[in-house]
Amino acid sequence: MAKVLMKGNEAMALAAIKAGCDAFYGYPITPQNELPEYLSKHMALNGRVFVQSESEVAAINMVYGAAGAGARALTSSSSPGIALKQEGISYMAGAELPGVIINVMRGGPGLGGIQPSQGDYKQITRGGGNGDYYLYSLAPESLQEAVDLIKESFDIADYFRNPVMIAVDGLIGQMMEPVTFDNETPKWELEPKTWAADGDRSNREKNVINSLYLDPLMLEKHNLKLKAKYDVMRDKHQRYEMINVKDAEIVIVAYGSMARIARTSIEILEEKGIKCGMIRPITIFPFPDKAFRELQDSVKNILVVEMSTGQMLEDVKIANECERPIHFYGRVGGIVPEAEEVVSQVLKIIGGEDNA
């Protein structure tokens, strides 16, 4: 299949179908509505399940049920809707169930706005619900990357038996770009879901899907088992892109749409004779702290750019281990920074006008 021009939300929906998603459960919320709208037609055409639920809470619990029965299940929403889903997400992590959640982020807090934002960084990377858990969280910068990562995300979720969050902002959801669905994605070694409570007991004993451990010693054991899984994600499955970092004097850290804009900033700076690089986290959990070990001595400053008031900033500070001065630039409320704004910020830092 050649490239096709598609809207972000629809391309992500089709990617899920290509990934073998068996069922979608979701509730309307802007700016992700085209995703369930597309699936309401195309899941049925492909013999799959589509249910418009009564609420965000019900949607994630339907995903929890379908995942418990061994199906590949998906839900999508936007920031306030994701907040409502945290109950079911926590249960999925606790019961070790796979599943994919697409978050097309908008501004907050509260009802906030409907324009693009990266204000859910903490909601996404800190688990989000009650208890000790994390989501493997992928933050694509383009439709093509979103499509490729969604195609792989169901495998990742099955591999870890843990929910995967696709973190995009309203910009990626709403824009149109040419995409291909034919890119090869990494293969994961998956085991049969012998644990599933799928109501087929012809060849096995009963299966139970559960996150309740009333005995503290048993719960501690369970928590440590989950932690070991997150440690493997941190040790072996960080993803990031190093852009133009060789001999760079300053390095930007940005993800998603913000990283894409910063690419233009880097080009503008290059024309001005300034060597600016970028660390682009692709996983925001696990945060790619390994990328910071790769930076050369030439890098004198780090600039974190986000569509938030500085949520990823904290992870950068931890990863930086006080090695270099860290600066921050962010726009919020649904305002997407322009490349020139980032350029001016870099010039200020180099000119000594912005003290970290």
**According to DSSP H, which parts of 95-131 are helical?**
121-125
Nearest to 196 by CA among 49, 97, 58, 90: 97
| Cβ contact 141:280 at 8 Å | yes
To other proteins, the closest distance from the beta carbon of 112 in angstroms equals 24
Least distance to other proteins, CB of residue 165, Å: 19
Query: What mask of x and - would describe binding to other proteins in positions 23 to 62, judged by CB under 8 A?
Result: x-x-----------------------x-x-xxx-xxx-xx
Q: Helices 8-18 and 34-45, interaxial angle, to 10°? A: 30
Distance CA 10, CA 273 (A): 40
The region that residue 297 occupies, defined by phi over 0 for left and psi between -120 and 50 for alpha, beta otherwise, is alpha
Helix axes 216-236, 79-94, angle to 10 degrees: 120
Over the window 311 to 350, marking each residue x when it contacts other proteins by CB under 8 A and - when it does not, the resulting string is: ----------------------------------------
Instruction: Indicate the SS3 state at residue 119.
Output: coil
Q: Which two tokens stand for residue 144?
A: 């093509």
Would you mind telling me the total number of residues written for the chain in this entry? Answer: 356
Among 3, 41, 201, 221, binds other proteins (CB under 8 A): 201
* Residue matched to tokens 């908008």: 106
Please say which residue, 20 or 310, places its beta carbon nearer to other proteins: 20
Total number of residues that touch other proteins (CB under 8 A): 39
3 state SS of 42: helix
Task: Say how far apart CA 277 and CA 236 lie, in whole Å.
Answer: 24
Contact map string, positions 83 to 122, toward other proteins, x by CB under 8 A: ----xx--x---x---------------------------
Nearer to other proteins, 29 or 172 (CB): 29
Q: Which is nearer to other proteins, 197 or 274 (by Cβ)?
A: 197
Token pair 């439709």 is found at: 143
Binder among 198, 231, 270, 321 for other proteins (CB under 8 A): 198
When the beta carbons of 35 and 67 are compared against other proteins, the nearer one is 67
Q: What is the 3-state secondary structure (H, E, C) of 80-97?
A: HHHHHHHHHHHHHHHCCC
CB of 202 to other proteins, least distance (A): 7
Place of tokens 């000119």: 351
Which of 68, 173, 330, 337: binder of other proteins (CB under 8 A)?
68
For other proteins, the binding residues in 209-248 under the rule CB under 8 A are 209-212
Asked if 203 touches other proteins (CB under 8 A), the answer is no
Least spacing, CB of residue 175 vs other proteins, in Å: 31
Give least dist CB 226 to other proteins, A.
17
Interface with other proteins (CB under 8 A), residue from 199, 216, 273, 351: 199
Of 44, 102, 46, the C-alpha closest to 73 is: 102
When the beta carbons of 222 and 317 are compared against other proteins, the nearer one is: 222
| Centroid of chain to Cα 280 | 13
Could you tell me the smallest distance in angstroms from the CB atom of residue 9 to other proteins?
Answer: 22
Shortest reach from residue 92's CB to other proteins, in Å:
10
User: Could you say whether residue 63 binds other proteins (CB under 8 A)?
Assistant: yes
Nearest residue to 57 via CA among 32, 91, 30, 13: 91
Q: How far apart are CA 244 and CA 247, in angstroms?
A: 8
Contact positions vs other proteins (CB under 8 A): 22-23, 25, 49, 51, 53-55, 57-59, 61-69, 71, 73, 87-88, 91, 95, 197-202, 206-212
